[in-house]
Structure 1
Amino acid sequence: MTTRPSGARAPRSFWIDPRFIVGVLLVAGSVIGVCAIVATVDDTTQVYAARGTLSVGQRIDDSDLVVRSVRLGSAGAQYLAVDDLPDGGFVATRSVLPGELVPTSVVGRASEAGHSTVVVSVDRLPASVVEGSVVDLWAAPATDSSHFGPPAVLVGEATIVATHDSGGLISDARSTTVDVLVPSAKVASVLEAIAGDSAISIVPSAG
């Protein structure tokens, strides 16, 4: 039988102060709470902004854009998210200034390269037609000062770049001017219709 040498200390028993455990739990709870708050508050969305000026009709890819993390809330769907950049890029349907967030309304189809913007005046614009809408331009040729011939499609699947309501106390019957992106090959036909006082209408494209 082994005996403890005289004068040797007995092993110290391990004892934890309950206050220490409570302190550890409080610190851990605080850390978890802060992390949860940060995760809740950090509701930023990654969207694209223009690296430089984006011009109407310009083909745009990711090299023309920069990523911005911003808080947009419910307005987030109005801007081009990083995951929504079309394969092969897109064509800008209106100008975007450097640093400006890229609205989804300026994202045109890549097939719109080689297009030009023309300005037309219309009497009434459908409420559903906004920037970025795809529309058909119809023209009814003037037969005299107050009569027009049968309308026909002048340009199919054009893109609305911008709309401008006429202001002032006195306005022309054609109260809305519209910037429309059309194929360059159709520009002459549109200008000819305008010069000939044809009645031009804009109709949402069914395609």
Structure 2
Amino acid sequence: MVFYFKARPEAGDYTIFMGLDKHENEELIKHGFPEDIWFHVDKMSSAHVYLRLHKGQTIDDISEGLLEDCAQLVKANSIQGNKVNNVDVVYTPWSNLKKTASMDVGQVSFHDSKMVRTTRVEKRINEIVNRLNRTKVERKPDLKAEREAVDAAERAERKQQMREQKRRQELERLEREKQAETRSYKDLMVSENMTSNKQIASESKSLHEIEEDFM
């Protein structure tokens, strides 16, 4: 089971989601999207909360309001973190999550600690948590199939882009050949004109020679 939430409307059309338990978390870790940002309460047990950014966006594009929604949700879904104030929430791109065979189910580390960011949550804001919970939807998605569908669509898009690129290159090649042929034809015409003018000059009689012919 995966729970889906809608971020505050003014932040834009963003989906926030989390797994029911550590087994769902494991599937989310395995089949995440490049646009996913992972949130967790630092040094405490909590839900794994994800924010799915729009394609082409990065962690730097997360607005202050959107960040607050995610941080409040992950704090509210931490048994220990929900009881105390001044909780740190860490977040990082899904691609930075590191999973090894020796780790427990749902446990992760990071490939690069420098890519992990921290935001401080001073206290739980019920208004935010309640608003998010009112948008909550439960689904049982096939996470593997969803990721495979996205990968297939991206492969098809890349193939189309490659075809378009080859088409443009072929058109450019033909245009270059056409321009080269035009330049060659113009050069040929100039050369022929120059030869013809020389021949006329050499074959033509001067005005003095013509007058002598009439005398």
Greater RCO (Cα-Cα under 8 Å, separation 6 or more): 2
Larger radius of gyration: 2
TM-score by length of 1: 0.26
- Report the structure, 1 or 2, having the larger helix content: 2
Which has a greater percent of strand? 1
